[in-house]
Structure 1
């Protein structure tokens, strides 16, 4: 069968933190509420929700936005809309039903066969949203409702344009290596934070650049510095590392901080990446989930 011609879209992916760890009744509520969050956010961005196809992914949704949409308006207003909708949700439910999202934005070609969507851009965005460093940022940002990660293309063409309402200083790079040993970089921001907690302040080289001259991918620049600081109200410890292949594991120590260029596993999903620097202990601790 000949594949249909691909179409270009802005692609949004949302994933609920800790979804698989909730009771089934809570999962059902969160699943239903997510669609209300999406509808509100799309409307806030000036989009007709009926014109934006949505694919259900169980613990999240994939949304295709018409390519003619203003990317600056989409990024600015979509983040605000998601934040406002999640604040409203949090006011209605207890912590068992709290919804926090990892959100991603990319642009590229998608092949559509009904509700089956394929394409490299979709796969790349899924890897960004599921990357270990992105999960760790949300775990550290205890008072945040979402973390947004954008692709390098979006960062270069939209974020660095310094358009109104988009602050480049609020984005920091998150470097990781996929399970197929492909170096990748996303750019992360957390609404309400001057910079995402737990990421290095010095972006250094991209993982692709480091790999080209023998560096260790996944360390993310200056591992001794934390760009976004710590959310002292809800800190998170470094994740438990289960290294499958010690030939890929390398520990770097500096100023009491740890960076790992190895493979760590969370549930059934795993990527290579750099855990955040440990912070001072506090009575309440929040850990990243494996959803």
Structure 2
């Protein structure tokens, strides 16, 4: 899959919101060809990771954002999957891809998750919860936190997602891997929770 908008389902209420982008996508060393290669790698990692856990990629609302995507997942899917199997699958696949990529084409992803209300207005996603998700992903504090890390994927979760999913899912999610971070960006000032995994040897997924 190479990207584009998927419109088999469009959100009109409560859903799981997810976004990710390629870190340093606009680096001056990255030619158009490299950027296209990065986008292809991002989409492949996303599609494989969602599909592997039983969430068909066609079930998602997916909106292309150039260097990333914003998506909505129907509420019937377990939101815990996004911060467990989907996240871990992305991490494995990005790391495996980077073993075969040149230095300038090395890919790292920044991801955000939130629970809220979203609506498709015929052109794209709208809603205050959509805005909140985007503020989390783009927050300077989040970017600062991952600047010195070489983790293939880093995650920021909204306080609502943390309280309703991460903190309550003891036994499946390792809460100790999350650290509190204050986000202050544009109209947003709030706590959030980040997970930046250490760079370790990761097994190849089935």
Deviations 1:135-193 (A, max 9, x none): 12221112x1011000001111111114333111111111132223x422210001237
In structure 1, the partner of 2:8 is: none
In structure 2, the partner of 1:35 is: 43
In structure 1, the partner of 2:137 is: 129
In structure 2, the partner of 1:24 is: 32
2-structure distance, mates of 1:42, 1:169: 24
1:164 aligned counterpart, secondary structure: coil
2-structure distance, mates of 1:98, 1:183: 32
Q: Is the 8 A contact 1:178 1:184 kept in 2?
A: no
Structure ID, larger Rg: 1
Which structure has greater helix proportion?
Answer: 2
Aligned length: 188
1-structure distance, mates of 2:38, 2:144: 21
Structure 1 runs, 4 residues or longer, greater than 6 Å off? none
In structure 1, the partner of 2:78 is: 70
Unaligned segments of structure 2, at least 5 residues: 1-10, 200-206
Within the alignment, does 1:103 sit opposite 2:111 as a pair? yes
The Cα shift of 1:87 comes to 1.4
In structure 2, the partner of 1:7 is: 13
Root-mean-square deviation (CA), in Å? 1.8
In structure 1, the partner of 2:121 is: 113
Matches within 5 A, 1:148-159: 148-159=155-166
Q: Is the 8 A contact 1:55 1:115 kept in 2?
A: no
Instruction: Calculate the TM-score normalised by the size of structure 1.
Output: 0.61
In structure 1, the partner of 2:172 is: 165
The Cα shift of 1:114 comes to 3.5
Larger RCO: 1 or 2 (CA < 8 Å, sep 6+): 2
Instruction: Calculate the TM-score normalised by the size of structure 2.
Output: 0.85
In structure 2, the partner of 1:185 is: 191
Unaligned segments of structure 1, at least 5 residues: 194-291
